[in-house]
Amino acid sequence: MSARLPLTKYHQVYLVLREQLQEGLFAQGLPAEIALAQQFAVGRVTIRHAMEQLVAEGLIVRVAGRGTFPTPAARSAAAQAAGVQARPTRLAGLMENIVSASRATTVKVLDWRTVAAGESVAAALQIAPGSPVRKAVRRRSSREGPLSHITTYMPQSLLAGVSRRALAGKPLLQLLEESGVELGRAQQTISARAADAQVAAELGVAIGTALLAVRRLVYDVQDRPVQWLEGLYRPDRYEYQMEVSRIGSVDARIAVKQQEQGAAGSALTVQQEGNR
């Protein structure tokens, strides 16, 4: 845990667990106190205090002899988060910008396998919970070091023959197009999230550090969901830029920062529809 953050250790743990509950990560139950204490490198008293806060908020229920489970309120929040209530994004031109940005970074594939869809993933992809989906976890780095941790889910039928090596060499949207998917539109939200132990280790930050959180749901031209993405970015190495005109569209840009120059380098530009 970070001693530099103006929060007690138990509150840092509570914030991370609350966000994970709201994202549907504990559909089968939370880890035991001793496992959480090891994960966060704190004492069990600290974990117990954080859990008591979650119980008080009605997000978890503790069942003697069985474990700790999310409540219907937590599952409802996860389903709402998967709904991605956001402005639609036009994908025209997005591919070129992603490929351009990828040239300035490298990718390490942390996970690439078939898993059972949890409630939030199933809601996003409009499939039944437990259905098989392809899961990809990647860490992208620039010359300064790690900058993003991206988890992506897709229907199992897509990219079934794609190898980890191909995944490291090309953006997923490009691989989807090469497999015959005609990309249509996307919905995207941008917020903040505290880094948990796993993400903190991959990105080289302290647990509880605020990260730029991007959620994107991509549809094909027939309006079927083909990709659900959850990306976490270091704000000291990535930034989201927007240019808003009085009428017309919003020009939004995610840029890889170059620390030695203090300016944006290779950038990923996303065109979003604005209010007229």
Domain boundaries, the chain: 9-77, 88-272
H or E segment and range at residue 45: helix 44-56
Q: What is the pLDDT of residue 98?
A: 60
Structure tokens that stand for 262 in this block: 């203090």
Structure tokens that stand for 174 in this block: 């490009």
Q: Does residue 181 have a pLDDT over 50? A: yes
Distance CA 214, CA 118 (A): 19
Distance CA 117, CA 122 (A): 5
What's the chain's average pLDDT? 78
Residue 191 or 98, more confident: 191
Q: Work out the percent of the chain whose per-residue pLDDT is above 70.
A: 72
**Residue appearing with tokens 């280790």:** 201
The CATH fold of domain 88-272: Chorismate lyase (3.40.1410)
Residue 76 or 168, more confident: 168
Domain 9-77 and domain 88-272, same fold? Reply is: no
Query: Among 91-105, 107-121, 159-173, 185-199, whose mean pLDDT is lowest?
Result: 91-105
Q: Sort residue 46 into left (φ over 0), alpha (ψ -120 to 50) or beta.
A: alpha
Structure tokens that stand for 87 in this block: 């402005």
Q: Does residue 151 have a pLDDT over 90? A: yes
Alpha-helical (H) ranges within 139-251 are: 164-169, 172-178, 197-203
- The arithmetic mean of pLDDT across residues 93-100, rounded, is 56
- The arithmetic mean of pLDDT across residues 138-145, rounded, is 89
Q: What is the pLDDT of residue 82?
A: 54
Overall size of the chain counted in residues: 276
Q: Calculate ∠ Cα 201-205-209, nearest 5°.
A: 115
Give strand pairing partners of 272: 89, 250
CATH class of 9-77: mainly alpha
